[in-house]
Amino acid sequence: MIKIYHNKLCSKSCAVLDLLKSKDVDLSIREYLQDVPSKDELLELVTLLQLKPLELIRRNESIFQEKFKNLVLSDEEWISVMLEYPILIERPIVVKDGKAVIGRPIDKVITLISEG
């Protein structure tokens, strides 16, 4: 099973979803703006991605620039920020067999789904 955390308004996310659909894989689509991941899910994602929570945040988003740009927060506080403002979560995130990648560039997804 491959899971994609997807934003249908994002061209990169749509391109990755199209790729996954073309591969005829067992696919679970999570539109995370409507179905926001839980705190535990976000913690699991940062672990699978081997990132700090701040590294999973889209820093060019206007909401980040307006509210968080100059703040120094703990990892737990950044998780709370993503829960409150899921638009800040990097996208798309693809998870397969206990591994995860952010789907930019798309080659990362191709490598992930090609692995045994």
Sheet of 27-31, strand order? 27-31, 2-6, 93-96, 99-102
Active site residues: 10
Q: What is the pLDDT of residue 116?
A: 61
CA distances from 82 to 19, 27, 67, 98 (A): 26, 24, 12, 22
Token pair 């820093």 is found at: 59
Give this prediction's pTM: 0.94
Per-residue pLDDT in tens (0 to 9) along the chain, 116 residues: 999 999 999 999 999 999 999 998 899 999 999 999 999 999 999 999 999 999 999 999 999 999 999 999 999 999 999 999 999 999 999 999 999 999 999 999 999 999 86
User: For residues 76 and 30, what is the distance between their CA atoms, to the nearest angstrom?
Assistant: 23
